[in-house]
Structure 1
Amino acid sequence: MTRDVQPSLDDIADTAAELAQLRTTADEILAQAWTTERTRVLLDGPGPAFDENVWKTVVDMGWPDVLVAETRGGGGGSLRELCVLAEASGAAALPVPLAAAAAANWCEQRTSDELTLVLDEIGTVVGDEVHGTWPIVPFGGVADRLLILARRDSEPVLGVVDVGEHGVQRTPEQPLDHGPAATITLTNTPFRPLASGASAATRHHEAVSRGRLATVAELVGIASSANDAAVEYAKMRKTFGQPIGARQAIKHRLVDQRSVIEIARALVNRAADACELQHPDAEALVSLAVFWAIDSLRRVPEGATQVFGGIAYTWEHEAHVHLRRAATRVTMLGSRSEHRAVVADWLRTRSQ
């Protein structure tokens, strides 16, 4: 059922204050738990860029369960709250799958220490077994469970696969951010159905949308952190007797990049509210936020890297950490043309 509730100005102010306090708290916690330098060091390590201890810290704080109802043991929070936490994790260069895990937990309305991922492609169910291949699944190498939308004959079925079951093959991949990605192949793998029919397909689609929107929020954090670092560098670095930030080309680049970030944040908030209210425009608004992230937001760490100049291209500098993470997160959002088509259709409908 679609809800159409118009909040008062006081409600909006209260919500904004609560979200700002949540972000402040999240930043304080992450400042104690992690640094961008630690993510950079992971890129030099022999294994994938994933830290089990910091993931356990995130789980213990209940962040992946923020969308799960309180009656189910979760935080009972809103999608905006998840996006605030995702943005904070992006700004801190946290190498964890918060967005993906939170979307999966929302889909099942289940809290657990196990890492569950929603796979956004459709497999095939024969009897009680599922078959399919999912190439380069982010964090697929460390997942414990998989939520899959498969088809039994022509009927969609939403179900769970435990990665410890037989028939699960995970081939390690190395994306640009060196995360623990894997190509996952399921062959005659035991499949536990949770729901079937149109409602199952809808639930899965909404979970994917929530995961993508939270990933855009994470990108906002990545871009913001990269741009802030470039601003500080532009104030400090001097050429010909003045800071490079005083030069028009640098100044305009940094301001334009900040504008891109603020637009992205506004689009995320609008889409999150639409999802919470089950508004008919929710899908289009999510695609609009995703399209902006793919088309514009991903370029912010690239522009920040150019502000740093040659030093940013050294392995010891942190600029490439944000650049790698942004490029990898963009690949989690789906096809640019797919989202552009959704937005174009939506805008065409609104203009009629």
Structure 2
Amino acid sequence: MTRDQLSLNEIADSAAELSELRTTADDILSHAWTVERTRSLLDGPEPAFDEDLWKTIVELGWPDVLVSEPRGGGGAGTRELCVLTEAAGAVALPVPLASVASAAWCADRCVEGVTLVLEDVGATFSEGGVTGSWPVVSFGAAAERLLVVAHRDGEAILGIVDATGAGVQRQPQQPLDHNPACSILLAGAALLPIGSGSAAAERHGKAVMRSRLATIAEVIGIASAANDAAVEYAKVRNTFGRPIGSRQAIKHRLVDQRSVVEVARALVNRAADACELDHPDAEALVSLAAFWAIDSLRRVPEGATQVFGGIAYTWEHDAHVHLRRAACRTADLGSRSFHRSVVARWLDSRASTTRSP
């Protein structure tokens, strides 16, 4: 049964289950991590990635949430993954949950270390191995395996590359949020094939869409946490004898930012359902959500920083953590122009269908 065919009671039950999942995730993360701990990682010499925290997340089974139950996973859907990544974003969790969970879904096997799904960049496959390059891969330096699609004589080969093996060159990068990002160059790297042909390429594309959508949900968590903190600050910060939150300009900013967050949630939910149903509009709906994240959602932590004023620009405040992470996560979504063109073509095709007799 599709979501369009669900009764009102079933929709309400589904919403209640997702709300309960979010409450549980928030409760777990409140004991496991804080934004302050992420901020402390920014001040250290090592990249912002906590291996003990990642082990905890793996033990919870979150990276395997999309893996089918017969293969030992959670058997859940994209909405559930997005709930978890949004909760992770709210506490600035420095882990690659979105990419790893999507790679696990694509391979339909539970997580073994950090396995990242890489976008199709036209890598080639021959007897010598895989050749291809990715300029910046978030958490790439922490990856143990890479899920890639390569091409040989017009045929797509889906497989796993040992990130620590021969033929893999990783050059460390230093993004704003200090995650262990790197550029990746595969030059004759060995590939363990797990699929081939158009079906494998299509499944890989769907995994990339899920990773992208879960990343948008993470940005929603980041933006929502930043705006909530700004709201609380506006209630207690007094200037000229009254809280700054009583001033119209501040109130309008905070309400507008909350509206941006809620629109993003609606777009993510719609795209997640389309992915689960293999709807032909799924790619366009994911790009629509990505465009909104890049164009509008990213600005919410920026606006929250302005509400805090000068204190937000100090190293001891959390505002810059949300600002940094929002900038880096939206960069992982690809270019604004790419998503705009996908959405524009989709809207044009819908308009053409409507105009046709």
Q: TM-score range by the shorter chain?
A: over 0.9
Q: 2:309 is aligned with what amino acid?
A: G
Q: CA RMSD in A?
A: 1.2
Aligned equivalents of 1:302, 1:296: Cα separation in 2? 10
Write the mapping of 1:239-254 to structure 2, written as runs, cut at 5 A. 239-254=239-254
Stretch of structure 1 that moved more, 160-169 or 302-311:
160-169
> Secondary structure of 1:333's partner?
coil
Contact 2:146/2:161 (CA < 8 Å) preserved in 1?
yes
| Deviation per residue, 1:183-228 (Å, 9 max, x gap) | 1111121111111111121111100000000000000000000000
Residue in 1 that maps onto 2:278: 278
Stretch of structure 1 that moved more, 180-189 or 289-298:
180-189
Tell me the CA shift for residue 153 of structure 1: 2.2
| Deviation per residue, 1:117-156 (Å, 9 max, x gap) | 1111231111151112211110000001001111112211
Does the alignment pair 1:343 with 2:351?
no
Unaligned stretches of 5+ in structure 1?
A: none
Contact 2:149/2:159 (CA < 8 Å) preserved in 1?
yes
Residue in 1 that maps onto 2:80: 81
Does the alignment pair 1:261 with 2:261?
yes
Residue in 2 that maps onto 1:26: 25
Tell me the CA shift for residue 330 of structure 1: 0.5
Contact 2:141/2:180 (CA < 8 Å) preserved in 1?
yes
Aligned equivalents of 1:39, 1:82: Cα separation in 2? 22
Write the mapping of 1:145-156 to structure 2, written as runs, cut at 5 A. 145-156=145-156
Write the mapping of 1:1-352 to structure 2, written as runs, cut at 5 A. 5-120=4-119, 121-127=121-127, 129-351=129-351, 352=354
> Secondary structure of 2:118's partner?
strand
> Secondary structure of 2:5's partner?
coil
Stretch of structure 1 that moved more, 42-51 or 157-166:
157-166
| Deviation per residue, 1:150-184 (Å, 9 max, x gap) | 11122111111011221111111100100000111
Q: 2:29 is aligned with what amino acid?
A: L
Aligned equivalents of 2:117, 2:111: Cα separation in 1? 15
Tell me the CA shift for residue 335 of structure 1: 1.4
Tell me the CA shift for residue 337 of structure 1: 0.9
Aligned equivalents of 2:18, 2:277: Cα separation in 1? 18
Tell me the CA shift for residue 4 of structure 1: 7.3
Contact 1:150/1:157 (CA < 8 Å) preserved in 2?
yes
Aligned equivalents of 2:232, 2:50: Cα separation in 1? 29
> Secondary structure of 1:122's partner?
coil
TM-score (norm 2): 0.96
Stretch of structure 1 that moved more, 25-34 or 337-346:
337-346
Contact 1:128/1:191 (CA < 8 Å) preserved in 2?
no
Q: 2:21 is aligned with what amino acid?
A: L
Stretch of structure 1 that moved more, 225-234 or 129-138:
129-138
Tell me the CA shift for residue 113 of structure 1: 3.2
Stretch of structure 1 that moved more, 271-280 or 314-323:
271-280
> Secondary structure of 1:106's partner?
helix
> Secondary structure of 1:256's partner?
helix
Stretch of structure 1 that moved more, 42-51 or 273-282:
273-282
Contact 2:65/2:101 (CA < 8 Å) preserved in 1?
yes
Contact 1:290/1:333 (CA < 8 Å) preserved in 2?
yes
> Secondary structure of 2:135's partner?
strand
> Secondary structure of 2:275's partner?
helix
Aligned equivalents of 1:113, 1:275: Cα separation in 2? 25
Stretch of structure 1 that moved more, 160-169 or 16-25:
160-169
Q: 1:238 is aligned with what amino acid?
A: N
Query: Paired residues, what number?
Result: 351
Tell me the CA shift for residue 278 of structure 1: 1.1
Contact 1:117/1:143 (CA < 8 Å) preserved in 2?
yes
Contact 1:3/1:279 (CA < 8 Å) preserved in 2?
no
For residues 197 and 328 of structure 1, do their structure 2 counterparts lie closer, same or farther at Cα, with a shift above 3 Å needed?
A: same
Contact 1:149/1:156 (CA < 8 Å) preserved in 2?
yes
Tell me the CA shift for residue 5 of structure 1: 4.8
Q: 1:73 is aligned with what amino acid?
A: G
> Secondary structure of 1:344's partner?
helix
Unaligned stretches of 5+ in structure 2?
A: none
